Chains A and B, each alone.
Chain A
Amino acid sequence: MFLQLESIMTSELTFPVLECFHIIGFAMAAGTIALVDFRMLNLGMTRQKAADLADDLAPWTMLGLGLAFLAGGGLFMSDPDLYYLNHAFQIKMVLLLLALILHYTVRSKAVAGPEGSGKWVAIISLLLWAGIVGGGIFIGFAGDAA
């Protein structure tokens, strides 16, 4: 019976549980990033400065990113070849790299910059993170290239 339980844990439950952690993690990260982007676009939280908002939310963005990375790494390890060859996954990784570079360079400067200056950066950031989520969904639909 113990063996049975163990096999369920490793084969059937691991993947969906990791998926749930991945979703909660990226919701946390992309949600808090989007909130700062909305602020830069003057669409919400306008009583705060963008820089203050970004500082306040940064630990939760990091926590979400960490969770999404760890769970996402686990999902990838379940079948590396399938992911590696999947076009949606490849596009997702390129977008992720671009989003992270933007986040820690151009965007962090724009957040601290004068009011209303970072609108294009905010729009690009929102589009990149939306593309990353969409890329993740299409992994399951695109099939593998092999």
Chain B
Amino acid sequence: MILSLAQWAQATPFFTALRESWYVYPIILSLHLIAIALFGGLILTTDLRLLGLVMKKRPVADVVGQLRGLKHAGFMLVAICGILMLGTKAEEYYYNAFFHAKLALFALVAIHALVFRGSVYSRAAEFDAAGRIPGIAKLAAALSLLLWIGIVIAGRGIGYIEPPLDKIHALRAPQTSDIAVVVRR
């Protein structure tokens, strides 16, 4: 079911055009990474503040609260670019172990949000009032950093797995990125 959906998605004229253009795909990939830099910097600043490692003189609530909107905007941009790239090679992604790992890590990020949003991120003002950051907040920040670093690693890994050509049904035009991989090796 998921496989036929993946085959259908990448066969649509939109994703076929994306796949066959030599420059549109790298532009989307560039935007994906630019947004990662942006979004990553915001996550890093939020988590380092909770760990007491940056902006120590600023209230935790100030830092966490002011970054929230920018973080959501950054995440939207990362996600849109990511979904566009997924669509162009959906069938390959279906078989890609690093993509599976990335999805699993996203599930853990969602669980992280469910567990810690109420107990940490929306209680930042209480930490300021108490004058100390509790262990659970530091745990949340450390786990968040580890999860996002894991997502970067899994994302980079996706490009290193050769698609199982015997299983791929959709026609796939040769791409300049394939040549780059061969040249690099």
Contact = CB atoms under 8 A, between A and B. Distances in A.
Interface of A: 15-16, 19-20, 23-24, 26-35, 38, 43-48, 53, 56-57, 60, 78-79, 82, 129-130, 133-134, 136-138, 140-141, 143-144
B38 A44 contact: no
Contacts of A137: 26, 29-30, 33
Given A45-B67, A78-B184, A79-B184, 19 more contacts: A20-B153, A23-B33, A23-B156, A27-B152, A28-B40, A29-B37, A45-B66, A48-B62, A56-B54, A56-B57, A60-B48, A133-B37, A136-B33, A137-B29, A138-B30, A140-B177, A140-B180, A141-B25, A141-B26
Contact of B38 (A30, A82, A134): A30
Given A47-B62, A57-B45, A82-B184, A143 B37 contact: no
Contacts of A30: 34, 37-38, 41
Nearest to B71: A44
B70 interface: yes
Nearest to B37: A30
B44 interface: yes
A16 B40 contact: no
A35 to B, nearest CB: 6
Contacts of B38: 30-31, 34
B156 A20 contact: yes
9 contacts: A20-B156, A27-B152, A30-B34, A31-B42, A32-B44, A38-B70, A133-B34, A134-B33, A143-B176
